[in-house]
Amino acid sequence: MASEGDNSMFDGNSANKLMDLYSRQIGAYGLETMKRLAALRVLVVGLRGVGVETAKNLVLAGPAAVGLFDPEPAVVADQGCNFYLNADSVGKPRDQVCQPQLEVLNPNVVVSVVPESVAGSNSLSTEQLSQWGAVIVTVDRPLAELRSWNDFCHANGVTFILALTNGVTGSFFSDFGPEHRVTDANGEPLKNVALALIEVDQVQEGSGESARTVPRLLFEVAKEAHGFDEGQLVKFEDVDGMVELNEVQGTIERVYSSYTTEDGKPGQRLIPNRFHLKLVEEHADLDVTKFSPYTRGGYVTEVKPTRVMTFRPLTESLVNPVQEGEFAVKHPHGMKFIMNAAGNQLHFARLALWEFQAKHSALPELHNKAHADECVVLAKGLLAEHRAQQEKGGAALVVDELCEKTVRNMALYARAELCGMCAFLGGVAAQEVVKKFGKYTPTHQWFHVDYFELLGDDVPADAAPIGSRYDHQISVLGAAFQEKLGKQVWFMVGCGALGCEYLKGFALMGVGANGGAIHVTDMDRIEVSNLNRQFLFRKENVGQQKSVCAANAARIMNPEMNIQCHEKLVGPDSENHFDDAFWNSLDGVCNALDNVTARRYVDSRCVFYQKPLLESGTLGTKANSEIIVPHKTQCYRDNPDTEDKDSIPMCTLRNFPNIIEHCIEWARAQFTENFEDPPSDALLLLTDPARLFKQVENESNIGTRLQRLRPVVALLRNAVGADFGTCIRLAFAEFNQQYRNRIKDLQHQFPADATKKDKDTGVVSPFWSGAKRFPRAAEFNLDDELNFQYVYCAANLFAFVFGLDPVRDHAAFRAEFAKAGCSVPDWQPKKVSMYDEEEEESKEEDDEVALEKKEYEELISFLKNFDHSSIKPIQPHDFEKDDDTNFHIDFTTACSNMRAWNYQIKTATRHRTKMIAGKIIPAIATTTAMVTGLIELEMLKIVHGCDVSVLLGGNVNLGLGTFELFEPLPPIKAKKDYDVINMCDVEPVPAGWTCWDQVVVDAGDLTIEEFLAELPKAWHGVTCDMLTPHSSTDVGTPLYCAWSATPTLKALMAKNKTRKLREVYHELYGEEKENKRKYLLLGGGFETADGEPCKIPLPVKFVWGHEDSSPPAAAAQ
């Protein structure tokens, strides 16, 4: 069983099970917050849907302890929102049933049932509350009790959170005490940028007679944009020359250049890599004109100011929930919030429910109109009380007119809950706890949300509970809806963190559980680091297939689920598996992916097959959701590409790093150049030499061929008779080459006092200036921990390549090193190249070319005559960031930190190196659960047939407590644009077509000539002057071309014109997807009826036959 409070294993330089388990979460929270979270005790009151979601997310996050309090007996309908309850749980206390299942989620967390203060009281004492650092209430407790609990928590430093759902509404409240200090408002990594230039500039302050010119420091950074906001607080460090600036703080003033528009009006453009600095008051007396001249180096780093937030206790905030500076209670739907002040209306409905509960000791009964009318009366009475208090000068929430419909809708379904709303609130509530320690901004204090769009004007006629696990859903949407939902067929792509949450939600909802199906695919296998977020997996599942394990877990939650598992990557190569019959069988698709390329491919399939797509993604505490509906909304590809394109120049990586990220990327490349590529080529030589030689011949020039072959030959020569001493000598030689010889070469070619001359102005300036940092060379010392770690890791990596056992014990390794006979060779200066490989292709001296050609021939000869039997099989490494025993991250850390030592850059911890080198995206369970809840609510709308106008996408940042729900945008309409081939503007035909429109020619197995005649009939009179396959790959001979350039091609076109189009296609480009399809996808050039170039929706679908009806393809498990 777990014990509380041991944080010693949270060490950024340590490889241990906790750092591995929580690696993605630490990437979001940071180590200090993680340590404090691991010492926190959290109490969850109520284990219906919101409670179990909150508890699950908390246990995964890893506090010291999670207490559960809900002695109420489970009922049948609880199975629709609590995934740990089943038929055998009915009649048993919810907390007793859930505790053992929550406990196995994370063995590092103590999960316990908290007893009643007095047996049978269903209550807790303040003494019990004092044992916890945070209390989260997730069920409708009596308001008097909640006030009492909150008063105690508010006064005693216990974070208090309310997260309640009633039907299609949700309410949230947080109280962090009288004063709460926020030290990191957004939780984002500090912005840190290398400086390239500092000058004293003169700027104008004020205007008119008060205008004056004042000196300001002008900065230029060593990248395209500094990324700081206007007024952002920053500080400086490691500046050479202008040392007075180090540790000085100021605020950013963006810099603009002036220009004149074509019509003579003045304008300004932002200069993104420059800024002025306005000194803070503490440093305002500094005279920047007297600062020493800047020479080089330095960093500008964001400073996050501390903010003190005040929180009202529950009793006060019930009457006065609107925060200072706001005009209404928060509601995530922008239009509802602004136009209708929906949060205010929901707040009165929430208060009315508590009043009803206090009067009748229960919430309003389901669908009881009399109870709903009584709630309206209570709400009106509360509004009158608030008005009276306001008239007396008190602070109280009022509305011009109470929305009775809002109150009735909340009351009619007050006892129901939807699993999507539970997942949303459970994610929000669990994340709020983490904010206790000053990182992130708490939700301040109330927000309400509603999904009234799911409701009709009246309660559905078939909404009475029937004793089913789906009763909550039925009570809101009706039995006919539940029947329809059970017959749905959906495809979920991906089964990681998002996928686990979706499968859980689908099981609770009963999607595909009555004649339908859920298809799931994921090729990945479960890793230890997955267990922190992907809650359907357990330690014993590590190494198993994700889709299969997740499906098995979901079937336990709901045995009625029909889940079909596919262990295939969704992409062009699997289109014979996920074929037309499969896609046509679907009602919709839900993406649970983590990369843009896969998302774009699935989106293209949904557009082609006209299927709705539910899209979501997370990044730390941030998440987005997007609802895509054929012909009604934009598709995913209509969104701008958000992938990071901020690449690092090669010369910077090779010779002039200035930040640790440069060193880490360089180290990752070193891993590939030493342990992946050469061993892979060596292995290919042993298994398929002809393929290797062909690949080498296809290299662009002899220089790149030599760069590929030299390390392969060196590796094979060392492999003959290799022992661990060989590995040590190779590691030692690499150390000296990278950290001594290369640096000495650079120092020799560009000494510390080297200068450079501007080719345009002739101005001479120091070479080592701006972001260029003059390096220092290393002399190997086995007693230096960083030197030792590099050789230790590199030698063990070479040992794997040669099929040798590792030497993990440090003392044993030192003994092996002593026997290896390593000696430092004399240094001979070599010229350092300042350019990329692509710029080195041209060689002017014939003798140098001849020498390279001779060397190339010798290397090829060596490889062709190499005796394979003289060595053990070569084993290439495959970089794996999550295996702490394989030396991959340890080598990368040592390699990058040695590089940082060379250039006097701050080193990085092992954990940070792992995140950057492994391209790990920070991820947490709370965000994932929250956003999947939003998507599940939208799925209900789609299946229910709601109009697109009520569908909602979302942008949420749990770190900032910001929630934005918005209607999806309509499809982008095609517009006239310039065509570089036709060299003219090209009109869309018809005007305004969208990605959802399709050109289909379905008139039989046509000849090319017949196809050309049918196309105008199928699509607005458009003709075709060139016909090609619709493919992203290069197209060779066209299927048809009206303006053939050569007599041969002209004759071929004439001959083909009377042949079957599909026969010509297959002859030129092969069978289309093994001939399973009865259509071809075509592109080409098109003209209007007037002979003008035009653009039409592509691909053109030419149907030459029809499939026999057949069931959808699926691989049942």
Half-sphere exposure (CA, 13 Å, Cβ side) for 968?
30
CB 748 within 8 A of CB 736: no
Catalytic residue among 375, 419, 565, 651: 651
Crossing angle (nearest 10°) for helices 94-103 and 49-61: 30
- Residue 395 DSSP SS3: coil
- What is d(CA 135, CA 850) in angstroms, rounded to the nearest whole number? 78
38-64: burial string, b at 16+ Cβ within 10 Å, e else: bebbbbbbbbbbbbbbbbbbbbbbbbb
- What is d(CA 234, CA 219) in angstroms, rounded to the nearest whole number? 12
The Cα-based distances of 634 to 933, 952, 968, 994 in angstroms read 22, 13, 7, 9
Residue whose structure tokens are 């706001």: 326
- What is d(CA 198, CA 638) in angstroms, rounded to the nearest whole number? 41
Catalytic site residue 635? no
- What is d(CA 275, CA 193) in angstroms, rounded to the nearest whole number? 12
CB 91 within 8 A of CB 83: no
- What is d(CA 447, CA 441) in angstroms, rounded to the nearest whole number? 15
Closest among 406, 407, 395 to 319, alpha carbons compared: 395
CB 61 within 8 A of CB 36: no
H/E run at residue 917: helix 910-917
Closest among 552, 456, 554 to 502, alpha carbons compared: 554
Alpha helices in 954-1000 (DSSP H): none
CB 1026 within 8 A of CB 1040: yes
10 Å CB burial of residue 372 (0-12, 13-18, 19+) is buried
Sign of CA dihedral 348, 352, 353, 358: positive
- What is d(CA 1076, CA 888) in angstroms, rounded to the nearest whole number? 44
CB 197 within 8 A of CB 263: no
Half-sphere exposure (CA, 13 Å, Cβ side) for 618?
29
The Cα-based distances of 356 to 75, 372, 482 in angstroms read 23, 10, 30
The Cα-based distances of 453 to 172, 450, 933 in angstroms read 20, 8, 16
CB under 8 Å to 564, separation ≥6 — which residues? 517, 518, 519, 520, 1114, 1115, 1116, 1117
User: What are the two backbone dihedrals, phi and then psi, of residue 887, each rounded to the nearest 5 degrees?
Assistant: 70, 0
The two three-digit tokens of residue 190, written as one number: 């500090």
The two three-digit tokens of residue 644, written as one number: 């990071």
Neighbours of 769 (CB within 10 A): 18
CB 344 within 8 A of CB 400: no
Neighbours of 619 (CB within 10 A): 15
CB 923 within 8 A of CB 27: yes
Give the dihedral of Cα atoms 223, 229, 234, 238; nearest 10 deg. 0
- What is d(CA 422, CA 164) in angstroms, rounded to the nearest whole number? 8
Residue whose structure tokens are 């509530």: 429
CB 413 within 8 A of CB 475: yes
**Pairing relationship of beta strands 517-521 and 489-493 according to DSSP bridges:** parallel
Active site residues: 651
